[in-house]
Amino acid sequence: MSFDTSLWHVPKMCHTHGVDLITISEHKEAMMPIPPIDPAVLIRNVNASNEAVEDQCLRACQAADMAAHSAQVARQAEAVAQDATVAHLAVQAERPRRRAPLSRQVILALMTVAMNGVACYFAAQALDGNQDTTLAWTVLFLAVIAGGEIALDFYRDRNLRTWRVLAFLTGGFVALLGILCFWFLATVGTSGLVPAVVGAFLITAAIAGFLFLGYRALRAAETPPAWRARRAARRAWQAARAARSAADQDARERERLIGAYLGHIRRLVLMTYPIDVQMSLQSEVRSHLSGRCNLSEGAACFAACPARADAWCPRSGHLRLRSPCRAPAPPRWSSSPTRLLQRQCEPRERS
């Protein structure tokens, strides 16, 4: 069984100035390369077509600069907040067991002092004074109890001997309050001394218990340096969050303006470039406008790479947007590949 090999035509490849030609039978088909174009040139030509478009591009560039500045400020604020957090942790490490917020613990200690108000009022009434004098003695007793709690907490880590003296004096003051309460109960009571002794003992135990709770509340609180460091770190993080929010808002404004400007670019590339080049061009233009690379990089690239010097552009010299009052121009790529190849080869053949 024999095969007719005359019907077989092996495609012949030929290269003509960077354009691949495939010859099958007597028909030549051209595979056009992707025309290189610099995004800076594309932006410049689009801006030259309309003044309003140029103003929109300038607003987008200004928004990109503001977004970049806001992002830098946000990064600096976050770095300051990180340093403040590290400083707070370093100060907190000196007293690892004292981590409770200082303001909350002070409020708890003041509440324990207020709980002793009734007992101090009973003790003040034993001094046989009028109402104003009794209230003054009550306030004085409460101030002594509050001062004792603060002094015990202050000297516990600084001078243990002084702390023991203060603890002894505070205990004696509590016992004195108990004696005054017994005197008052024994004077006004009619059931004998036993109920007065029991009542005085309970009041004294309540005063000592509330005093101990207030002291323990202060002992669990963070130190004043740690409190100041924590507040500084919190303020730094609040400033960092505000800066990040402003940066996000500026970034959204930048993306909005760039998206509006890309509408003009999209209309141009849809009628000028093939489909596989459109998305890459739009991405490069977005990168240029968003500030991730400078517009002057295109000129530097042309100077460094001679192959980019003869970048492809339409024969009209600059790119024009399609006017809504005119009929749309035919796409440049609507011609057949063979005719486009002939147009590119004509100047070289004449030279």
What predicted TM-score, i.e. pTM, was given to this entire model?
A: 0.60
For 260, residues 6+ apart whose C-beta sits below 8 A from its C-beta are 56, 60
Which pLDDT score, from 0 to 100, does residue 37 have? 66
Contact 19, 33 (CB under 8 A): yes
Burial level of 31, CB count in 10 A (0-12/13-18/19+)?
exposed
Position 292 confidence tier, pLDDT thresholds 50, 70, 90: low
Q: What is the pLDDT of residues 195-241, one digit of tens each?
A: 888 888 999 999 999 999 999 999 999 999 999 999 999 999 999 99
Backbone phi and psi for residue 250, each to the nearest 5 degrees, phi listed first: -65, -35
Decide which of 277 and 108 is more confident: 108
Burial level of 81, CB count in 10 A (0-12/13-18/19+)?
buried
Q: How far is CA 337 from CA 31, 248, 262, in A?
A: 7, 47, 29
